[in-house]
Every structure is written in structure tokens, then in C-alpha cells.
A and B are shown apart, each in its own frame.
Chain A
Amino acid sequence: MGGDTNGEALLPVIQLPESHTIISSLLSFLFPVPPVLPPTIEQTLELLSVAQKYQVSTALTRIRDCASRHDPKFICPETALHVYSLAWKYGLLDEALLAAKETLKRPMTIHDFEDKLDIIPGAALGELWKYRQRVLDNFKEGVAAEFSRSEIFPTLTVLDCVEICEYDIPLWIFRYLVSVAKDTACFDITTFHLTLSSHISPPGTSSENCEYCKSIPSETIRELWTTLTAIFHGSIRKVSSTTLNAIHDGSHLIHRLDQSSHSHNGKCALKVLPRQQREPRLCRKA
């Protein structure tokens, strides 16, 4: 075991294209030793792609588990686009989905993406845009189908707010839902509370303060937020599950180990060829 050179003459040597860092990290996830994640995001993604390539599914699961417990989180809003572009490059659907989900926390505009456009291919951006649109569509459907039937809804319809929308709920809630339906980045507890605060006491105006919404019990607010969270996360899950169904249909990346023996000094070359070199599709065509 290890980089022993004494026995090399007796053992067959397999030349791999990966670096020492990646191979030693991969081995640490295969053997009963403390697992070692590579130091950078780029290498972690490369490690996952190598585990996927060699079809070491146990190691793949362990690496994913280890990476998910990594502190600081390796997929966060700041790194999401970078991870997404790497996951796209390596054909790692799970990571692409996780990173895509994380990108929902930030707006997706040319302004916001301007300085990152050189790292992400147009096709990957297109897929990310479609993913976001699907989440938004699901959210709109979710609000229409689930929100009006939720337990909190009747409570909202009896509030004596100064501004009620056509659905008999306070206008600020409706406006908040519209803002989320336009941009997933608005789905955020701070934005939610800011919307409520600016309704209760509109900044810079002399308009009437809403005393009714000011006195909405915290329990009601919490329940409203919980309901909206369930709908929003359900919207994301629906997109993810459609994608995962596509994987079970067999359209995921399959790598073929094409072992071709060469008798060069008794060394054996292991060549790994991608059978279907596909980039991850986050959404299936309807």
C-alpha cells in the first residue's frame, strides 16, 4: 500500500490521468482511514467526477456526505454559480441541482451574473434559467392550488387590514407572493418581514398605518411563513424529482471502463471512456 517503490517491479502498474491529490483523497474514502476532502472546491468537484467515472458508488456517497458536512458549506449562495459551472463541466447532476437550488437565493440578471459569465457556458446558463422558470411556474401553481386551501388562509381572510386584495387577504401578502413569483430571490424571511413592516408603517409617506396588521399574532405570521416555505420548497422538489426521474430512465451519465491491456513492460493501462458525454439537464422537456 502507499507509494512503495520496492514492490513496483512485481506489481502491475496502472497509469491514471488523475493527480496524486485526487487519487489519495479517493482512496481515503474507499479504505477504513479518515476521509480527506481535497482543499479546494475545484478539486472536490473533480474528486466527485472521478468517483463517478470509476463507478465507485460507495465512495461517491461518502464524498457527498462528507462534503455536505463541510464547514464552511461548499455550496452556498457565494459559491453556487462556480460550483454549478464545475458540476456542469464534470456532468455531476446532483451537485448541479444543489448548486442551482442555491442560486435561487440570488437574482438572476445580466447585472448580477456579469462578472461570472466567462466561467459558465451558455448552455449551462440556459439550463439554469429554465430551472428557475420551472420553479417559478411550480410556485405559482402551488400558490393557486395549495395556499387557498391551507389552514392559514381562512385566518388571513378575516383580517381587517386597510388594504385587502381581490382574494380577501391583505394586499401586502398578495404583493409579496407576486414578487416571489417574479424572482425566487424574494423568498427570504427578511424580505417577507420588510414587506410587512413597510405595510404597517410605509416609509416616507404620511399614509395611514395599518393597526390591524401590526397586531397580527406572531403565531399567525409564523404559520403563514411555514405554509409559504412548504409551497416554495415543494416547487423546487418538483423540478428536482422530474430531473431525478430522468436519471432513473437511464439518461444519466454512464461511464464505461474500457480496459485495454498493453504489454508494455508488464504495465497495464486503464482507459476510461465516457459512453454518453452529456451535460446535466436540470429540467426535462414537457
Chain B
Amino acid sequence: MQAADVILRSSDHISFRVHKSTMAISSPFFNDLFSLPQPHDGEVIDGLPVVQLSEDAEVLHSLFTLLYPIPSVIPDSYEQSLALLTASQKYNMDTVSSTVRCNIVLPTTEAAFHAYAIANSKQLIPEIETAARLTLDHPLTFEIIADALPLFEGSALHDLIHFRKRCRDNLLSFFVGFVDGNDSLSKAWNSCRRTKRPFSTLQSDKGIIAGWFRDLVSQHIKNLQETYTCSLPKSSSLRKEFTEALRAHISATQCSSCSNLYATEGEALRNQWLRRVSKARDKVRIFSPSWDRGFYIVCRNPSNLTRKHQTHPEI
């Protein structure tokens, strides 16, 4: 690079010739570093001081593409993307962190467990949260997570299990309330004339939701009560189940009330229900807000940091 005035060297010994001014503008850390007097016995190549960094060349290359007016290179792999994010956070490059976060490709498969473990090892709170939520779409068994197990550090797996249990409990509580007719949304679905009303509820104000809908939700209640390690129902799969169950009910019983309800406001009600399901599932956070906030405080003031992973730069 023309007029470069410093060499930043990667952990795998690749030298990048960059400009102190660019680094200083984008990073308070480098700003401080370059404002300090440089050691007299420091390594110099072609008259340029050399600064050894702990990141590998792939991460540094990506980092520099985000600092200079050249095409950005975001790593393909989730792991390397998180390494880039970690580096950008370490050097307090907020703009780079935002760009990386916007471009990270989230895993859609069981790789979510890998993603969670990696994010956890790098202590990237928003990524831990996102990946933990993605794992809920998959069963949590040793068979599924076997390959990711070596990546789990400290209490990561323990935390993930408790997170899943709390999500399950929340979802279960919503489903039970819905089936019992305690939820305001239940009342919209109590017009089915084919649903037998239990004698005990004849005098009560509770709505008795359509039998086909109750059966669908009850099945999920049963599954969730049996174990928390199964994948938690999500709105996309529930939408499909809902449609199939309703169709089967109408074709089997010629139920005009359910048919009319669905034709008029059924879709809106269904979507409302699905939103409530998502809300119940997503309400839980893997870390409590106080812990989260506390972590961010120590990240901003590394001198307060007492956790295992120090986030201040090591060069």
C-alpha cells in the first residue's frame, strides 16, 4: 500500500502495510497506541515499525477491507466471521462491528450448536443469544451435538439447557392457557359446532376452542411435557400444521362455522396466534438483562473485567 507508515503482522506471520492515520481514525485503541512513544528496540522493516497482532491473516485482511475504500471481504464461515467480530470489538471498531453483524450468515441447520459454542467461547453476547435461539429449532441430544461438544467451554452447555427449559416452560404455559380457554385469543376459536362441550364447562365463561385446534395444541403440550430436548415448535411449522388440521376437520365434518370463521377472519386470527407463539418462545433470554448489562460495562472498562476472557487487546 502506498505511503504506508506501519506494518501490522498477523499471528501467522503475514505483514500488512497500512496507514497509522486510517487505523487511528477507526480505532481508539490504535489511536492510543500510535500516540505513545514507540520502543527503540522494536522491529523495523524498510523503515516501518512492526506491530505484532494476535489475529490471523484472514481476519486481518477482512478487517482492513472494511477500513479502506476497497471491496469488503466478510469471511464465509461463521467461525471466521465471529473471529472478525471479536477483533473489531477488541480494537473498539464500532462501525466495523456493525457491518460484520449485518453480514453474518446465520446457520439454518444443526450447525446452530457449533455457532452457539463458538459465540460463547468468544463471549459475543448478541451472537450467543441469536445462536441459542436457533438451536431451539433442533433436538438437543448428544447425537446431534456430538461434533460441537469440544467447542463448548465452561458452563455453555449448562446455560443452553437452562435457556431451552425456560423457553419450553414459557411456551407450555401459553399453550396450556390457550387450550384451557384462559387466553383472550382462545375465545375467537370457540364457535365450532362440531366440538363437544364438556358438561363441567357449560356454566363457565371459558371458551371451548375448536376440537381440531385443541387436539393440535394438546399434542404439542404432551410433547413439551415429556421432554425439553425435542425441537420447540416454531411458527412456520405450526402454520402448516394449523392449515392441515383445519382442512382435515372441514373435509371430515363439513363444519360450516370453522369454514366461515376461517374465510372471514381466520387468517388474521391464525397469524395473531402464531405471533403469540413466537412471543412466548422468544420472551426468554439466555442471559438475564442485568448480567448482560454488567458484561457490557466491563467490556467498555476492561480494567473491571474479571471473567475468564479478557477482552482488551493483546499485541
B149 neighbours in A (Cβ, 8 Å): 122-123, 125-126, 129
B157 A122 Cβ-Cβ under 8 A: yes
A77-126 at interface with B (beta carbon < 8 Å): 108-111, 114, 117-118, 121-123, 125-126
B127-156 at interface with A (beta carbon < 8 Å): 140-142, 146, 148-156
A122 B146 Cβ-Cβ under 8 A: no
B196 at the interface (CB under 8 A from A): no
A129 B150 Cβ-Cβ under 8 A: no
- With A122-B117, A122-B156, A122-B157 given, is the CB distance from A108 to B150 under 8 Å? no
B156 neighbours in A (Cβ, 8 Å): 122
Residues of B in contact with A, size category? 10 to 19
B155 A110 Cβ-Cβ under 8 A: no
B150 A123 Cβ-Cβ under 8 A: yes
A118 B158 Cβ-Cβ under 8 A: yes
Chain A contributes a number of interface residues (CB within 8 A of B) equal to: 15
B141 A109 Cβ-Cβ under 8 A: yes
Whole-angstrom distance between the alpha carbons of A123 and B148 in the complex? 9
1/0 per residue, CB under 8 A from B, across A129-159: the answer is 1100100000000000000000000000000
B200 at the interface (CB under 8 A from A): no
- With A111-B227, A114-B161, A122-B117 given, is the CB distance from A129 to B151 under 8 Å? no
**Which of B140, B150, B161, B227 touches A122 (beta carbons < 8 Å)?**
B150
Whole-angstrom distance between the alpha carbons of A117 and B161 in the complex? 10
- With A114-B161, A117-B161 given, is the CB distance from A122 to B229 under 8 Å? no
Whole-angstrom distance between the alpha carbons of A125 and B142 in the complex? 9
Whole-angstrom distance between the alpha carbons of A133 and B146 in the complex? 10
Quote the shortest CB–CB distance from A142 to chain B (angstroms): 22
Whole-angstrom distance between the alpha carbons of A126 and B153 in the complex? 12
Quote the shortest CB–CB distance from B150 to chain A (angstroms): 4
A125 neighbours in B (Cβ, 8 Å): 142, 149, 152, 157
Whole-angstrom distance between the alpha carbons of A109 and B156 in the complex? 17
A122 B141 Cβ-Cβ under 8 A: no
- With A117-B158, A122-B117 given, is the CB distance from A110 to B150 under 8 Å? no
Quote the shortest CB–CB distance from A134 to chain B (angstroms): 12
Most chain A beta-carbon contacts within 10 A, residue among B140, B149, B151, B227: B149
A110 B152 Cβ-Cβ under 8 A: no
**Which of A114, A122, A130 touches B151 (beta carbons < 8 Å)?**
A122
Quote the shortest CB–CB distance from B123 to chain A (angstroms): 15
Whole-angstrom distance between the alpha carbons of A130 and B142 in the complex? 10
B161 neighbours in A (Cβ, 8 Å): 110, 114, 117
Whole-angstrom distance between the alpha carbons of A111 and B228 in the complex? 9
A129 neighbours in B (Cβ, 8 Å): 142, 146, 149
Whole-angstrom distance between the alpha carbons of A173 and B78 in the complex? 47
B151 neighbours in A (Cβ, 8 Å): 122
B157 neighbours in A (Cβ, 8 Å): 117, 122, 125
A109 neighbours in B (Cβ, 8 Å): 141-142, 229
Question: Which partner residue on chain A sits nearest B229 by CB separation?
Answer: A110
B61-85 at interface with A (beta carbon < 8 Å): none
B227 A126 Cβ-Cβ under 8 A: no
B83-102 at interface with A (beta carbon < 8 Å): none
**Which of A108, A118, A130, A133 touches B155 (beta carbons < 8 Å)?**
A118
Whole-angstrom distance between the alpha carbons of A125 and B155 in the complex? 13
Quote the shortest CB–CB distance from B121 to chain A (angstroms): 9
Question: Which partner residue on chain B sits nearest A120 by CB separation?
Answer: B157
B158 neighbours in A (Cβ, 8 Å): 117-118
- With A122-B149, A122-B152, A123-B150 given, is the CB distance from A111 to B229 under 8 Å? yes
Question: Which partner residue on chain B sits nearest A130 by CB separation?
Answer: B146
- With A109-B141, A110-B141, A110-B229 given, is the CB distance from A126 to B117 under 8 Å? no
- With A110-B161, A117-B161 given, is the CB distance from A122 to B142 under 8 Å? no
B229 A126 Cβ-Cβ under 8 A: no
- With A110-B140, A111-B227 given, is the CB distance from A121 to B146 under 8 Å? no
B9-49 at interface with A (beta carbon < 8 Å): none
Whole-angstrom distance between the alpha carbons of A117 and B159 in the complex? 9
Question: Which partner residue on chain A sits nearest B149 by CB separation?
Answer: A126
Quote the shortest CB–CB distance from B144 to chain A (angstroms): 10
Quote the shortest CB–CB distance from A279 to chain B (angstroms): 10
B217-240 at interface with A (beta carbon < 8 Å): 227, 229
A122 B155 Cβ-Cβ under 8 A: no
Question: Which partner residue on chain A sits nearest B157 by CB separation?
Answer: A117
Most chain A beta-carbon contacts within 10 A, residue among B152, B154, B229: B152
Question: Which partner residue on chain B sits nearest A123 by CB separation?
Answer: B150
A–B Cβ pairs within 8 angstroms, 14 of them = A109-B141, A110-B140, A110-B229, A117-B157, A118-B155, A121-B152, A122-B149, A122-B151, A122-B152, A122-B157, A123-B150, A123-B152, A125-B149, A133-B146
Closest 4 CB pairs of A and B: A122-B152, A126-B149, A123-B150, A117-B158
12 extra A-B contacts, CB within 8 A, seeds A118-B155, A122-B117, A122-B157: A109-B141, A110-B161, A114-B161, A117-B161, A122-B150, A123-B149, A125-B149, A126-B146, A126-B150, A129-B142, A129-B146, A130-B146
